[in-house]
Amino acid sequence: MLRYLGAGALALCLTGCGEASDSGPDRAEIETVVHEYIVSNPEVIEEALVELRRRAEARETRQLRDTAAALTNALFADGRDPFIGSADAIVTVVEFTDYACAFCKRAHEWKEMMLALHPGQVRFVHKTLPLRGEASEMSALAALSVWEGQRDVYEAFHDGLMTQRGALDEAALNEAAQAAGVDVAAMRAGMTSPAVEGHLDRTFELANQLGLRGTPMFLFPGDVIIPGYAPPELTAALAAALEAAQ
């Protein structure tokens, strides 16, 4: 309450100054009043910074939603994208993900739970976006290669990569592939194919258009976008999308 009273007092003070003279207060007088108020109430600086940050974030969110709406087909309807869940699900959720991202691994656990809770109703489309170095890119290329050439074992391989807790080096990649039933030699050959390289290029182009800064990021029907791993918000967004689709 005191904060608002202080702001009101400042307004009254400035108004009073304006009435004291036909010509009004000069700049120095106004600056003195404002300076003294800020010195006496330094918390207003922090409040102003918080408000500026809030406005910037709101502006970025609006821009992101507008851009995503313009890219709906590329995001939600590209038949070349890998996915888990039912191909004819009533709700499609898009995720920008990275196999070397700890929060993406936790998000994978949430997705598995949602698929079990809503069988046949949801599919998660993967926009694989390697942002964390060589291991990140190598695993992304491997997953896309498996999707292109060995689609029947993609989900098992994807799960193996997401549940891998150690370094994603060559040995770990081969081990995850073998455990999923992947033909490792074919996977390796496909990692440098034009189809796989082109797929990764398209994902980076989309990410750049969206101004994406990290993973995971989820996009739901109805222009709902949730950056990061936030289970309550994700679960609520999925529930709302399912309700709208039924």
CATH number of the domain within which 142 lies: 3.40.30.10
The verdict on 67 and 81 lying in the same domain is no
Q: Please choose, from the candidates 99, 105, 162, the residue with its C-alpha nearest in 3D space to the C-alpha of residue 131.
A: 99
The verdict on 47 and 110 lying in the same domain is no
Tokens at 127, concatenated: 């926009």
The verdict on 63 and 133 lying in the same domain is no
The verdict on 90 and 101 lying in the same domain is yes
The verdict on 49 and 127 lying in the same domain is no
Q: Are 231 and 103 contacting, i.e. CB atoms less than 8 angstroms apart?
A: no
Q: Are 148 and 190 contacting, i.e. CB atoms less than 8 angstroms apart?
A: yes
The verdict on 45 and 155 lying in the same domain is no
The verdict on 105 and 205 lying in the same domain is yes
For residues 107 and 234, what is the distance between their CA atoms, to the nearest angstrom? 10
Q: What is the pLDDT averaged over residues 151-171? A: 94
Q: Is the pLDDT of residue 5 over 60?
A: no
144 pLDDT band, cuts 50/70/90, is very high
Which residue among 71, 104, 130 closes a domain? 71
Which residue among 71, 92, 127 closes a domain? 71
Parent domain of 25 = 2-71
The verdict on 115 and 173 lying in the same domain is yes
The verdict on 102 and 143 lying in the same domain is yes
Which residue among 42, 71, 100 closes a domain? 71
Percent of the chain exceeding pLDDT 90 equals 68
171 pLDDT band, cuts 50/70/90, is very high
The verdict on 42 and 54 lying in the same domain is yes
58 pLDDT band, cuts 50/70/90, is low
The verdict on 12 and 39 lying in the same domain is yes
How many C-alpha atoms does 243 have within 13 Å on its Cβ side? 6
Among the ranges given (35-44, 123-132, 166-175, 192-201), the one the predictor scored with the smallest mean pLDDT: 35-44
The verdict on 6 and 32 lying in the same domain is yes
Q: What is the pLDDT averaged over residues 18-26? A: 53
What pLDDT, on a 0 to 100 scale, did the predictor assign at position 1? 31
For residues 205 and 200, what is the distance between their CA atoms, to the nearest angstrom? 9
Among the ranges given (45-59, 95-109, 198-212), the one the predictor scored with the smallest mean pLDDT: 45-59
What pLDDT, on a 0 to 100 scale, did the predictor assign at position 154? 98
Task: Name the domain count of the chain.
Answer: 2
For residues 232 and 3, what is the distance between their CA atoms, to the nearest angstrom? 34
